[in-house]
């Protein structure tokens, strides 16, 4: 049923491997405007702690980008960087920018070999520059190293059975026998690090980092066992040294335990990535001022309900009594069930109008415009058109 709609808020996440959140919002808006030029449209890209979160925050808050060369997941030089907000006191660092899966070819993806060293180098640079707070987004990692790479860059040293120094990577985590924090960065213990994540998995166990996410990063069953042993080893050493118990904190399994040392030896805290973005961008006010909210992400599946953008936006829109629409690159499940689950007036998928998944990705801009036109025809009726 059409609804009188004067203010349309378009608030999607990025479509992974395809378009940024800003691009998704813009193309949907273009499609709606073709049908209803007078409709009031606000583009409001959002994110949940995955790739593109820093760019999303920059869209709303400005800031400057600091570029530098750090180590990629396989310890090769890569041009990376981070966002410094306008207050010059807060750095937004994306783990994926230095330690992300997309930095590797499919053949290179092996979490036994990869590490978060480059992310630690970004954090070190931010600490050296004097920022008072760091927001670390941990989505999209190529790593299951228990945060040993980050720790190494921040001055921790690891030794094995014979006192030999051990370089950080997933496979090496199980060989570490001693953690030496003597050379740790002096600002780590006093600088808040907010770890933005969209998952609630603990570090170890059947729902832990190695078992759930290892295979997505290239680990076979044997590798998963090695990674799991390494994570248990690291978390046990940290527990003995600091009293920090990883598995009582939902979210410690994010990015293969990347936040362990930030939380146990520093002032790191885990928060839902979407909540951080919403708070920094004033999303509450934008929802209140809208009549209809259109959100979306690349894939709607069983994971969507666990802190992803669509579920989070749907909850806020429903709470504010707003009409809500979902757009996905691909949506799994019965459309009516999805509408009921998320309280949506409509659920649209690009694959429903494209010639398969590859076509939907290659021509996403045009399919998003077409979807915008469909939403306009089926659900939108601006007041000045009545």
pLDDT in tens, 2-11: 445 679 999 9
Give the pLDDT score at 285: 96
Q: Are strands 192-197 and 267-272 parallel, antiparallel or unpaired?
A: parallel
- Tokens at 124, concatenated: 């070190």
pLDDT category of residue 38 using cuts at 50, 70 and 90: confident
Q: Are strands 192-197 and 323-331 parallel, antiparallel or unpaired?
A: unpaired
Mean of all residue pLDDT scores within the chain: 93
pLDDT in tens, 272-283: 999 999 999 999
Task: Quote the distance between the C-alpha of residue 49 and its chain's center.
Answer: 3
DSSP H or E segment with residue 386? none
Query: Within 283-384, where are the H helices?
Result: 283-288, 309-319, 335-342, 357-362, 364-379
Mean per-residue pLDDT, 340-362: 92
Q: What is the spatial distance between Cα 207 and Cα 372, in angstroms, rounded to a whole number?
A: 38
Q: What is the spatial distance between Cα 73 and Cα 49, in angstroms, rounded to a whole number?
A: 19
CATH fold match for the domains 3-45+290-385 and 53-275: no
DSSP string for residues in 351-372? GGTSSSHHHHHHTHHHHHHHHH
**Domain residue spans in the chain?**
3-45+290-385, 53-275
Please tell me the class of the 53-275 domain. Answer: alpha beta
Residue 350 above 60 pLDDT? yes
pLDDT in tens, 42-62: 999 999 988 899 999 999 999
Mean per-residue pLDDT, 181-200: 95
Give the pLDDT score at 4: 54
pLDDT in tens, 242-255: 999 999 999 999 99
109-147 per-residue burial string, b: 16 or more CB within 10 A, e: under 16:
bbbbbbbbbbbbbbbbbbbeeebebbbbbbbbbbbbbbb
**CA nearest to 254, candidates 201, 216, 309, 307:** 201
pLDDT in tens, 92-143: 999 999 999 999 999 999 999 999 999 999 999 999 999 999 999 999 999 9
Mean per-residue pLDDT, 230-241: 98
Mean per-residue pLDDT, 205-211: 95
Residue 240 above 60 pLDDT? yes
Mean per-residue pLDDT, 69-80: 98
Contact 367, 354 (CB under 8 A): yes
Give the pLDDT score at 382: 57
Q: Are strands 64-71 and 40-43 parallel, antiparallel or unpaired?
A: unpaired
Give the pLDDT score at 199: 86
φ and ψ of 134, to 5 deg: -125, 135
Supply the CATH classification number for the domain 3-45+290-385. Answer: 3.40.50.10350
Of 114-123, 301-310, 357-366, where does mean pLDDT reach its minimum? 301-310
Question: What pTM, to 2 d.p., does this model score?
Answer: 0.91
Residue 332 above 80 pLDDT? yes
């Amino acid at each position: 049923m059409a609804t009188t709609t004067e203010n349309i808020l378009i608030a999607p996440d990025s479509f992974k491997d395809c378009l940024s959140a800003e691009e998704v919002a813009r193309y949907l808006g273009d499609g709606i405007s073709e049908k209803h030029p007078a409709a009031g449209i606000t583009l409001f890209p959002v994110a949940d702690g995955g790739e593109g979160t820093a760019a999303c925050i920059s869209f709303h808050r400005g800031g400057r980008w600091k570029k530098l060369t750090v180590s990629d997941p396989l310890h090769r030089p890569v041009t990376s960087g981070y966002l410094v907000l306008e207050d010059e006191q807060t750095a937004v660092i994306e783990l994926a920018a230095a330690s992300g899966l997309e930095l590797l070819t499919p053949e290179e993806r092996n979490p036994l070999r990869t590490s978060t060293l480059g992310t630690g180098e970004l954090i070190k640079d931010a600490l050296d520059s004097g920022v008072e707070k760091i927001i670390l987004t941990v989505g999209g990692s190529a790593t299951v190293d228990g945060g040993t790479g980050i720790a190494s860059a921040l001055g921790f040293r690891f030794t094995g059975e014979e006192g030999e120094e051990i370089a950080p990577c997933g496979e090496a985590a199980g060989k570490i026998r001693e953690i030496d924090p003597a050379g740790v960065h002096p600002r780590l213990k006093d600088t808040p690090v907010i770890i933005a994540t969209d998952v609630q998995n603990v570090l170890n166990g059947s729902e832990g980092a190695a078992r759930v996410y290892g295979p997505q990063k290239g680990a076979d069953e044997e590798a998963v066992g090695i990674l799991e042993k390494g994570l248990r080893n690291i978390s046990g050493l940290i527990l003995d040294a600091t009293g920090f118990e990883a598995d009582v904190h939902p979210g410690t399994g994010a990015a293969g335990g990347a936040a362990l040392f930030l939380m146990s030896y520093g002032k790191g805290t885990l928060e839902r990535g979407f909540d951080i973005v919403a708070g920094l961008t004033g999303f509450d006010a934008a929802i209140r001022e809208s009549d209809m909210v259109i959100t979306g992400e690349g894939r709607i599946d069983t994971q969507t309900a666990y802190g992803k953008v669509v579920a989070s936006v749907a909850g806020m829109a429903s709470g504010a009594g707003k009409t809500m629409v979902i757009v996905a690159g691909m949506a799994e499940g019965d459309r009516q069930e999805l509408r009921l689950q998320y309280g949506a007036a409509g659920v649209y998928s690009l694959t429903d109008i494209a010639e398969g998944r590859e076509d939907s990705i290659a021509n996403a801009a045009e399919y998003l415009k077409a979807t915008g036109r469909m939403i306009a025809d089926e659900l939108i009726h601006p007041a000045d058109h009545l």
